[in-house]
Chain A
Amino acid sequence: EAQVTQNPRYLITVTGKKLTVTCSQNMNHEYMSWYRQDPGLGLRQIYYSMNVEVTDKGDVPEGYKVSRKEKRNFPLILESPSPNQTSLYFCASSSDRVALGEKLFFGSGTQLSVL
């Protein structure tokens, strides 16, 4: 089954404790991206990757890091989480025809709470 898998589904942590949210897709997609969803703001793009070793900033990259060492995986790293990073996070992937309107496939989300 084609899917985007995120882990964990829920995460509670404390300020400053490094964490990683994993994302994996089994569709051989070149494009992957991370979003955060906050009430009243919709989804905002954090980082995206067009292929292995190719990443770029979205609209809200501060406080986040990503890496793309393998095509299927795109982890989101919070080196020193802060309470304003409490949010619902989504990973998404797509084929390289993003420019022509191919759809994004979303994971089920990770609810992060930073205390």
Chain B
Amino acid sequence: GDSVTQMEGPVTLSEEAFLTINCTYTATGYPSLFWYVQYPGEGLQLLLKATKADDKGSNKGFEATYRKETTSFHLEKGSVQVSDSAVYFCALSPNFNKFYFGSGTKLNVKP
């Protein structure tokens, strides 16, 4: 079945460090891929998305490229800030109605 696997956390970085959170997926066909972010006490918010192979999603300095050959959608940011501390979820939607989420990766950024 369809699924998403992302690296376990927590990930702890110093401010201005480079961030990578790995995400790989299993799906038939051509799913849309997403990164959602969850701040403490809140619901998830869309961070970025890509709907076809080789698309790059980007937002707020975060980027992820849809790699069909490696079935990956890794999240990157060149210089993290304390305000980026949150839980990040990779997700895919293979059809019209279902979404599959990874288990989430908690990011802690220290000043």
User: Closest CB of chain B to A93's CB: distance in Å?
Assistant: 11
The interface stretch among B13-21, B69-77, B78-86, B92-100 is B92-100
Q: B25 within 8 Å of A by Cβ? A: no
CB contact under 8 A between A42 and B99, given known A100-B32, A100-B51, A104-B46: no
Are A42 and B89 in touch, CB under 8 angstroms? yes
Residue among A4, A31, A108, A109 making CB contact with B97, cutoff 8 Å: A31
**Is A42 touching B43 in the complex (CB atoms < 8 A)?**
no
* Interface size bracket, B side: 20 to 34
A residues less than 8 Å from B44 (CB atoms)? 43, 90, 92, 104, 106
Given A106-B44, A106-B45: A101 and B98 interface contact (C-beta under 8 Å): no
Contact A101 B51 (CB under 8 A): yes
List the 9 closest A-B pairs by CB distance, nearest first.
A106-B43, A101-B32, A103-B46, A101-B51, A43-B101, A42-B103, A42-B101, A99-B96, A106-B44
A residues with CB within 8 A of B: 4, 31, 33, 35, 40-45, 48, 50, 56, 58-59, 90, 92, 98-101, 103-104, 106-109
